[in-house]
Amino acid sequence: MNKAFMNTYHELPVTFTRGEGSYLFDTEGRRYLDFTSGIAVNCLGHGHPAFRRAIAAQSAKLLHVSNYYRCDTTETFAEKLVAASGMKNVFLCNSGAEANEGACKIARKYSLKRYGKGRHTIVTLKGGFHGRTITTLAATGQEHFHKNFGPFTEGFRFVAPGDTEALESALDDSVCGVLFEAVQGESGVRPLGADFAGKAAEICAKKDILLMFDEIQCGLGRTGAFFAFESYGVRADVATLAKGLAGGIPVGAVLAGEKASGVFEPGDHGSTFGGNPLAAACGIAVLDTVNDPAFLLEIAEKGAYFAGRLESLRIPCVTEIRGRGLMIAADLSSQARPMLEKLLTRGLLVLSAGEKTLRFLPPYTISREEIDAGLEILAAALRGGA
């Protein structure tokens, strides 16, 4: 690790200098097949010409203007995002955690204005992950993230995914919103399921609780639909996006449906860089590619191909495979971390999720041949061969 940094990441021993398509290249010119997309960020791969064009054109015109003025590029991005998502309006920010903070503020104000004080609890899921700020850690239902950093923002309550009885008793009169990942990413690609999501939607509608989905990792086409929650037949009052939204330039979004669209008023919320013109230009490039039924179908088909191929390899130490589109996990009978290092030396980048799970989030643009090549490396390494 470079001593100039705080020691916050379990860094792997490689230094990258450039990327091209599904590959990254290190300082020695060695190439690595990228099954991570920078944790679901480089959704169109590395060095996509659409980004080069967007960045060159926008940087020649305007890099930043404060949100007290209008900007044509940012407005186009917002309009495209609202149209692609089927939501009513959007607040733009810089990251996933910031987007979830915005969602929590919307739920609290929505409820306060209608029902008065005391209805500020937000229900989230055990095993969920919503960010690293004090509030989004409070929303994160995994105790090991909480160690050392209390006290947290109050008013969060966790239920186990799938436990509809617990959900029913958790959604009492103190609750203003729920915030769920439609497919939990950090805890190992775990889909919420239509029954649980449907029950949540039913109770939320009945009690006027905002149904909010954190689509930061699973959204934006990754599962083969624009939002992962769509496959459960429910509609969100609020949805958050970030990660791949500008393909590698930081941006986040809080999208509101009809109910939540008028909650924020001038002065309620803000972000200096939110909707920065450079990020917006890259966001337009992403949406123009991803918001296309044929492209989304291709993601779903490549995901099914990936999971099917992985299954067919019958690797002895793989105990379970789960997937939704190009968001796939393989549980191992052994620790995942040493495998990340082993795969790195063989030119394949993968992620872990928990102690014994490998997670694959390849770029949407990956080819079937690249999937085959990566899975061959994976199978050989997991079998302990050359």
Ligand X SMILES: Cc1ncc(COP(=O)(O)O)c(C=O)c1O
Known catalytic residues? 129, 214, 243
Nearer of residues 37 and 318 to ligand X, judged by Cβ:
37
Give residues 221-250 in contact with ligand X (rule: CB under 6 A): 242
Q: Which two tokens stand for residue 286?
A: 């992403």
Per-residue binding string, ligand X, 94-133, x by CB under 6 A, is -xxx--x----------------------------xxx--
CB of 269 to ligand X, least distance (A): 16
The answer to whether 156 touches 144, Cβ cutoff 8 Å, is no
The CB-nearest residue to ligand X is 96
The span of 1-9, 90-98, 264-272, 348-356 binding ligand X (CB under 6 A) equals 90-98
Burial class (CB in 10 A: 0-12, 13-18, 19+), 174: middle
What letter would DSSP give residue 294? Answer: H
Q: How far is CA 251 from CA 92, 105, 148, 291, 327, in A?
A: 7, 18, 29, 17, 21
Nearest to 221 by CA among 321, 302, 164, 140: 302
23-26: strand order across its sheet: 16-20, 23-26, 31-34, 348-349
Q: How many residues can be counted in the chain?
A: 386
Nearer of residues 71 and 216 to ligand X, judged by Cβ:
216
CB of 188 to ligand X, least distance (A): 12
Give residues 17-46 in contact with ligand X (rule: CB under 6 A): 39
Return d(Cα 14, Cα 26) in angstroms, integer: 7
The answer to whether 242 touches 95, Cβ cutoff 8 Å, is yes
Nearer of residues 36 and 377 to ligand X, judged by Cβ:
36
CB of 132 to ligand X, least distance (A): 6
CB of 238 to ligand X, least distance (A): 13
CB of 169 to ligand X, least distance (A): 25
Is residue 324 close enough to count as binding ligand X by CB under 6 A?
no
The answer to whether 200 touches 178, Cβ cutoff 8 Å, is yes
- In the complex, the residues that contact ligand X under the rule CB under 6 A are 39, 95-97, 100, 129-131, 181, 185-186, 214, 216-217, 242
